[in-house]
Homo-oligomer: A and B are copies of this chain.
Amino acid sequence: MTLDREQVLRSAAALLTRKSTATMDEVARAAGIGRATLHRHFAGRDALVRALENLGIQEFEAALDAAELDKGTSEEALRRLIAAVEPSAGLLSFLVTENQLFEGEEVNEGWSRTDARVSAFFRRGQERGEFRIDLTPAWLTEALYGLVSTGAWAVQVGRVAGQDFQYMIVELLLGGARRSVEQ
């Protein structure tokens, strides 16, 4: 036996991504373990969510690393980032929603780090003349989170094909819906 704590977190993430109000019992069943065992690994629901938050931050930071945002053009870097983030999109979507419930309480410092990195990426792109300067880096950062969440949900419910996830997000984020003249 000696179950894998990491594996439990993965299945919890998968379940909570689909049903964010799942009970501890449902989370345990989904992981194929008993509720008591789940409590032995995570002191409570808060602890579980915090662990998931740390996992999400860790995965997001890994995606930021993997994307090598300072290499090549900003556009290429953004494409790499969205590609790298796709496997974590569902979890991040859950965490974003969950975070909004905290309305003022202390938030995990990890988000400040990721916010800073994403925001700095957009600012660099602006300084290089590759991104518009009339949209603030803070807004572009939030928009990226929002579109990734929306995309994950749209794929989840079947409104968007899974294989289009990256393309739809990147293209909208980069070029918008307007048909440009050169096309």
Contacts and interface: CB of A to CB of B under 8 A. Distances in A.
B97 A171 contact: no
Contact of A150 (B143, B153, B183): B143
Nearest to A168: B139
Contact of A160 (B97, B129, B139, B174): B139
A87 interface: no
Contact of A18 (B20, B103, B175): B103
A176 interface: yes
A174 B171 contact: no
Interface bin, chain A: 35 or more
Given A132-B183, A179-B132, A143 B172 contact: yes
Interface string A156-168: 0001100010011
Nearest to A122: B177
In the A-B complex, list the 6 residue pairs whose CB atoms are closest, starting with the nearest. Answer: A146-B150, A176-B176, A175-B176, A142-B154, A174-B178, A174-B176
